[in-house]
Homo-oligomer: A and B are copies of this chain.
Amino acid sequence: MDAVFKALADASRRQLLDRLHAENGQTLGELCKGLDMTRQAVTKHLAILEGANLVVARRRGREKLHYINPVPINEIAERWIGKYERHRLKALGELKRALEGSDE
């Protein structure tokens, strides 16, 4: 879980996910196109995404195809965000009351 949050913390990596979301199964070269980064920087980002299991890669000859793995994002949504969403209105109320200045 920590690795997933860390991986998502960087805008370049979220952009890579977006690109794979737009078109899955891209090669490293394709993913690099139009990005203001060297290929090696992209490689590093992809390694981190793979480390978090957000991206799974597969070799085809000399190419490396990258696929999104939707499972970790789903887990974040279910196990983590869900927990907070459950008490969302309660928290909003508490916050509002606190900001309105009522003591206790």
Contact = CB atoms under 8 A, between A and B. Distances in A.
A97 B95 CA distance: 47
Given A60-B103, A88-B70, A94 B25 contact: yes
A71 B84 CA distance: 10
A5 to B, nearest CB: 5
B91 A68 contact: yes
B67 A85 contact: no
A67 B94 contact: yes
A39 interface: no
Contacts of A76: 81
B94 A21 contact: no
Contacts of A87: 21, 70
8 contacts: A2-B11, A8-B9, A17-B84, A21-B91, A25-B94, A67-B94, A70-B92, A77-B85
